[in-house]
Amino acid sequence: MVCARGLLVLSCVVVLCKGGPIMATVLNEFEEYVESVMGCRQVPGLTITMVKDNSVIYSKGFGYAQVEDKVPVTNDTKFCIGSLTKAFTSTVLAKMLTTHSRFTWDTPIQKILGNGFRLINKLRSENVNLRDLLAHKVGVPGFFNALLVGFPENVTRGEFISYLEYLPAFLPFRTRFVYSNFMYTLAGHVSEKLGGRTWEDLVRDNLFQPLGMDTSGFVTEVSDFDKSFALSYASRNRKPVRLNEKLLHCVDPLGPAGSIYSTANDMGKWMLFHLTAFRNTSLTPLDIDHDILAETYASQMATPFQEKNLFRPKYPIDDVSLAYTLGWVTSVYRGYKRVWHSGGIVGFSSLMWLFPHQNIGIFASLTGSRDNDNQLPIRVIMSRAADMLLGETPWLDSSSACSFPAPWSDVSPSVPVTGMSQFRTFWNSSQPMEFYIGSYGHPAFGNISVTIENQTQLMLYYGRFGRMVLTPVTDLAFKGHYIGPLWFATQADGQVRPVNVNFSFPVSGGIASNLSYPVDNAFAITFQRDFRKHENNGLQGSLQLTCTTSGNTRIQSTLLTFCVVIIMVMS
Ligand SMILES: *[C@@H]1O[C@H](CO)[C@@H](O)[C@H](O)[C@H]1NC(C)=O
Ligand SMILES: *[C@@H]1O[C@H](CO)[C@@H](O)[C@H](O)[C@H]1NC(C)=O
Ligand SMILES: *[C@@H]1O[C@H](CO)[C@@H](O)[C@H](O)[C@H]1NC(C)=O
Ligand SMILES: *[C@@H]1O[C@H](CO)[C@@H](O)[C@H](O)[C@H]1NC(C)=O
Ligand SMILES: *[C@@H]1O[C@H](CO)[C@@H](O)[C@H](O)[C@H]1NC(C)=O
Ligand SMILES: *[C@@H]1O[C@H](CO)[C@@H](O)[C@H](O)[C@H]1NC(C)=O
Ligand SMILES: *[C@@H]1O[C@H](CO)[C@@H](O)[C@H](O)[C@H]1NC(C)=O
Ligand SMILES: *[C@@H]1O[C@H](CO)[C@@H](O)[C@H](O)[C@H]1NC(C)=O
C-alpha cells in the first residue's frame, strides 16, 4: 500500500498502523530528514524502498540521477548495488544445490570443478567448499586496490579462476573472517559449473525473471548508461563531480561479488521474497529447498566489525553486528534481530536491512558518496527509516544525522577532497630513469608497466584504469599519484594519498629487478621483471606478502567497498 503525502489517517495514533500506511505527518518528517541529510552530506541522488507485512509500502527517488541534465531519481532508476549482489550469488547456489541434490554447502568444490582446481595450497584446494567461500572463511584477502584498477579487458571468468592458485593467503584456512570478493567470484563459477550457463544467465532465469525484477541487470553488460541509470559521482570541494562510468566495469570478471544494478521497485520484490522465505518454513520459494536456503541466513563466521558497532552508553542505541552468514550479516538493532548487507562500488553506496521477526525490509542506494565515509549518509537514513517502521522514537534528527558519529564519538570529521592529488614531479634518484622502466608481472595480479612519458616523467600503468606518476623518495621507494579516472581514490581519512611503490635492484647493479605494489591497502605484492608464468615453477615459494602495518592490520577498502567500510583483521 502506498502512502500519499498529505493523507491523514485519523485513526492512527501510533507511528505505524499495523499493515497500514505510515502516517502522513511522520512520512513528511522522514522526507524532510532525508532531504537535509542529502544536503549536508552532498548526496546527488538517492532511492529508497520499504516493505512491511508482505507488501511494498514506500518506494521513492530523491535528487538527481544525472546532475548535469537534471534527470530526477525515481523508484525505477537503476543503481549499482555492489555487494548486495552477494546474496544473489548465494541464493542462486541454493537453487543449484536443490537441483543437484548430491552436492551440499559442504561438498569440497574440487568434486564439482574437477581435480584441476587449485588454490594456494593442498589443504585449501582439496577442502574448500561453498560454505567457506560464501562465509569468507578461506583466509584470502580482498585485494581492493587490485580490483580498483580493473583486470585487463576481456579477461574471462575462467581465466580469472586459473589465477586463484597464485593468490597468497593472509590467515590460516577457516580461522578468521577475511572478506574476499575473489572467493565470491569462485562461488559464482561453481554455480556456472552446476547450472551449465553463465552466472549472469542463472541469476536472470532463476531470480530476476520469476520475481519480476524486470529492471535489474549486470553493470558489466551495460555500455550505454542512458537516462534510466543513476551515474557515479564523487564529491570535490563539496560539489558532485561525475566519474567515468566505465570504471564500473572494474568489477568484471568478478560479477558474482558485485555487478548487479537494480531499482527501488525491484529490490522491494527481492526483500519480500527473502522475508517470506525466512518466515515460512513450509514454503519452497522459487522451488528452492527451504532448508538449503535457510543456511544462507544462518550465522557462519563471527565478524570483527568493531568499528561499525554502536553501543550504549556512548551511543543512545545499540547497533551490533554478530556474524556473517552466506551473503548476509546477522545483527541486532535496538533489540531487534536484523539481517543486512552493504554494497559500495565507484561512487554508489547501498544498504539493505531485513527485520524478519517484524516482517520489515528497507533498501536504499545513493550516489556521490566519498569512499571513506560512504556508509555514513546511507546509514543515518536507514536508521531513521527503521525507527519509523519499527515504531521506535528516532534517535537521530537532521542535526545529529549531519554530524554523526559526533556528538557521540570524537571520530574526526573527514577532510573534504579538494582536487586531484597534489604532487610535484622531479627526478633526484641517483639511478637513471631508464633503470626503472619495463614490465613487472605476477601470476595472480598480472602485469604492471613502468614507462617514461614526455622524456621526463616516470609513469606506472596497472590494469584497465590504473595510471600514476611516480616520484622518488629514495632510490628504491617512490610515491605513486593516480591521475586519470582514479584521481579521487582516497585513503581512510579522505585524503587523496599517494601509493608506495618500491623497486629492488640486484646487488651487482643495473636495471631494477622487482617492484612492490600495495594490491591491498594493508599489503604489498612483489611483481617480477619480465615475469612469464610457464618459466616459473615453485611460484608459491616466491610470493612475497608484505604486511605494511603491524599489530592490528586495518584492511580498509578504498572506493570499492563491496561490504562494510572497515573490516578489522587481527594479525
Ligand atoms: C513509484 O513512484 C511512482 C511515481 O512517483 C508512484 O506513482 C508509485 O506509487 C511509486 N511506487 C510505490 C510502490 O510507491
Ligand atoms: C574486448 O572484446 C571486445 C568485444 O569482442 C572487443 O571489441 C575489444 O577490442 C576487446 N578488447 C581487447 C583489449 O582485446
Ligand atoms: C506458509 O505458506 C503456506 C503455503 O503458502 C501457507 O499455507 C501458510 O499459511 C504460510 N504460513 C505462514 C506462517 O505464513
Ligand atoms: C605529456 O605531455 C602531454 C602534452 O603536453 C600532456 O598532455 C601530458 O599530460 C603529459 N604527461 C604527463 C605524465 O605529464
Ligand atoms: C628527492 O626529493 C624529495 C623532495 O624534496 C626528497 O623528499 C627525497 O628525499 C629526495 N630523494 C633523494 C633520493 O634524494
Ligand atoms: C618501501 O620503502 C619504504 C621506504 O624505504 C619502506 O618504509 C617500506 O616498508 C617499503 N615497502 C615495502 C612494501 O617494501
Ligand atoms: C625479486 O623477486 C624474486 C622473487 O620474489 C626474488 O627471488 C629475488 O631475490 C628478488 N630480487 C631482488 C633484487 O630483490
Ligand atoms: C604479462 O607480460 C608477459 C611478458 O612480459 C606476457 O607474456 C604475459 O602474457 C602478460 N600477462 C598478461 C596477463 O597480460
Q: What is the pLDDT of residues 395-424, one digit of tens each?
A: 999 999 999 988 998 765 555 555 555 667
The ligand 4 site (C-beta within 6 Å) comprises 453-454, 457, 459, 469
User: Of 199, 230, 212, 219, whose CA–CA distance to 270 is shortest?
Assistant: 212
Tell me the CA–centroid distance for residue 359 and ligand 1, in Å: 21
Predicted pLDDT at 370: 59
Probe residue for ligand 7, chosen from 528, 536, 539 as the CB with the greatest number of ligand atoms within 8 Å: 528
Predicted pLDDT at 544: 37
| Helix 375-390 and helix 24-40, axial crossing angle in degrees, nearest 10 | 170
Probe residue for ligand 8, chosen from 151, 154, 437, 447 as the CB with the greatest number of ligand atoms within 8 Å: 447
Predicted pLDDT at 564: 26
Predicted pLDDT at 490: 55
Residue 412 near residue 456 (C-beta atoms within 8 A): no
Residue 288 near residue 384 (C-beta atoms within 8 A): no
Intervals of the chain under pLDDT 70: 1-21, 306-307, 369-374, 411-423, 490-497, 534-571
Tell me if 479 CB under 6 Å of ligand 5.
no
Tell me if 282 CB under 6 Å of ligand 3.
yes
Residue 120 near residue 140 (C-beta atoms within 8 A): yes
Cell of 6: 498529505
Helix (H) / strand (E) containing 491? none
The ligand 2 site (C-beta within 6 Å) comprises 153-154
Tell me if 476 CB under 6 Å of ligand 5.
no
The ligand 6 site (C-beta within 6 Å) comprises 474, 476-477, 500, 502, 516, 524, 546, 548
Half-sphere exposure of 321 (CA within 13 A, CB side): 25
Tell me the CA–centroid distance for residue 535 and ligand 7, in Å: 15
Q: Could you tell me the pTM of the whole model?
A: 0.90
Tell me the CA–centroid distance for residue 280 and ligand 3, in Å: 6
495-510 pLDDT, tens digit per residue, is 566 789 999 999 999 9
The bound ligand whose nearest atom lies closest to the alpha carbon of 279 is 3
Tell me if 425 CB under 6 Å of ligand 5.
no
Q: Indicate which residue's Cα is closest to atom 13 of ligand 1.
A: 59
Probe residue for ligand 1, chosen from 59, 267, 269 as the CB with the greatest number of ligand atoms within 8 Å: 59
**DSSP letters spanning 82-117:** GGGHHHHHHHHHHHHHHHSTT--TTSBTHHHH-TT-
Tell me if 475 CB under 6 Å of ligand 5.
yes
Q: Which residues of 165-192 are buried (b: 16+ CB within 10 A; e: fewer)?
A: bbbbbbbebbebbbbbbbbbbbbbbbbb
Taking only Cα atoms into account, the Rg of the chain, rounded to an integer number of angstroms, comes to 24
Cα-Cα-Cα-Cα dihedral sign, residues 206, 212, 213, 217: positive
Angle at 156 between CA 153 and CA 159, to 5 degrees: 115
Tell me the CA–centroid distance for residue 127 and ligand 4, in Å: 51
Cα-Cα-Cα-Cα dihedral sign, residues 59, 63, 67, 70: positive
Probe residue for ligand 3, chosen from 54, 283, 287 as the CB with the greatest number of ligand atoms within 8 Å: 283
Distance from C-alpha of 125 to C-alpha of 148, rounded to nearest angstrom: 27
Atom of ligand 6 nearest to the CA of 500: 1
Tell me the CA–centroid distance for residue 511 and ligand 7, in Å: 13
Q: Indicate which residue's Cα is closest to atom 10 of ligand 1.
A: 59
Tell me if 283 CB under 6 Å of ligand 3.
yes
**E strands, 199-313, where?**
217-218, 233-236, 239-242, 260-262, 301-302
Probe residue for ligand 2, chosen from 154, 220, 461 as the CB with the greatest number of ligand atoms within 8 Å: 154
Probe residue for ligand 6, chosen from 145, 475, 479, 500 as the CB with the greatest number of ligand atoms within 8 Å: 500
Q: Indicate which residue's Cα is closest to atom 13 of ligand 3.
A: 280
Tell me if 263 CB under 6 Å of ligand 1.
no
Tell me the CA–centroid distance for residue 518 and ligand 5, in Å: 21
Predicted pLDDT at 412: 58
Distance from C-alpha of 562 to C-alpha of 15, rounded to nearest angstrom: 34
Tell me if 454 CB under 6 Å of ligand 3.
no
Residue 113 near residue 533 (C-beta atoms within 8 A): no
User: Of 385, 61, 386, 352, whose CA–CA distance to 229 is shortest?
Assistant: 61
Q: Indicate which residue's Cα is closest to atom 7 of ligand 8.
A: 532
Distance from C-alpha of 363 to C-alpha of 51, rounded to nearest angstrom: 9
Tell me the CA–centroid distance for residue 310 and ligand 5, in Å: 44
Tell me the CA–centroid distance for residue 504 and ligand 8, in Å: 20
